[in-house]
Structures are given as structure tokens and as C-alpha cells.
């Protein structure tokens, strides 16, 4: 699990291995991750886009950028939370994800909310 707070926006991520969609014999490891974004600040903020940095167990890095999350660009008023689940496929049984959400305030200002690094790993594969 990872957790980071930027300007009142708290991002918590939990990941899990999805064995029924994985096929280790062909180097396909599927992971699901659930993200909770909470606005613990005093101002509203809208999530406009995302930037993920995905690193597999061999050190290969892939960057993913795009609008919103799961087809949405939620606005979080103070006290609001938004949660979604998505997935990632790796060629290795371990990896890591981290990134940022680009957030916009009603006054037109913007900032990057940090997504702290979190592990993608088969159960019992981390020492």
C-alpha cells in the first residue's frame, strides 16, 4: 500500500496479483490496483489527467499519460472521495508503479498530486 498527500489531496493505493488472468509460462503477470483519492483540503480540485511510471522487475520503464481515470475526470469538493480499480500487465512477477494526477482548482491554478510508489508483486515473492 502507498499513501501521499499533496495540497490536501490524499492518494492511497492498494495492489494485488490477479492469478486467474495471469499466465506465468508466457511471462504475463496481471495486477489490479485500487486507488482512493480524498480531498482533505479546504478547496475543490478536479482530476484532469494522469501520468504513470511503471517499472518491471527487469528495470524496463513505461510511461502512461492520458485524460482522467477510468473515463472520468472527477471533481472533489472538500471531504469528497473517489475510488476506482484498474489494472496493469507486466512481463515479470514484480514491478512498481508511481505517478501523478494533474489537478485543477476552480481559480484556474493547477498542481500535481503525487501517487507514491507501490509494489506489484506475486504474493510471498517479496522478502
Please, what are the averages of pLDDT over each run of 10 residues along the chain (127 residues)?
97 97 97 98 98 97 96 97 97 97 97 98 72
Residue 38: all three cell numbers together: 480524498
With 0-12 CB in 10 A as exposed, 13-18 as middle and 19+ as buried, what is 90? buried
pLDDT of residue 95: 97
pLDDT of residue 73: 97
Three-state secondary structure of 31-72: EEEEEEEEECCCCCEEEEEEEEEEEECCCCEEEEEEECECCE
The pTM of the full predicted model, rounded to 2 decimals, is 0.94
Amino acid at each position: 500500500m502507498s499513501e501521499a498527500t499533496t495540497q490536501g489531496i490524499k492518494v492511497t493505493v492498494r495492489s494485488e496479483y490477479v492469478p486467474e488472468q495471469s499466465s506465468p509460462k508466457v511471462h504475463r503477470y496481471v495486477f489490479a490496483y485500487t486507488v482512493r483519492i480524498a480531498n482533505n483540503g479546504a478547496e475543490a480540485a478536479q482530476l484532469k489527467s494522469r501520468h504513470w511510471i511503471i517499472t518491471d522487475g527487469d528495470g524496463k520503464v513505461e510511461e502512461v499519460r492520458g485524460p482522467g481515470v477510468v473515463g472520468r475526470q472527477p471533481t472533489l469538493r472538500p471531504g469528497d472521495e473517489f475510488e476506482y480499480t484498474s489494472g496493469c500487465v507486466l512481463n515479470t512477477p514484480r514491478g512498481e508503479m508511481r505517478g501523478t494526477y494533474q489537478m485543477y482548482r476552480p481559480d484556474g491554478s493547477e498542481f500535481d498530486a503525487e501517487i507514491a510508489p507501490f509494489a506489484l508483486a506475486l504474493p510471498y515473492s517479496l522478502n
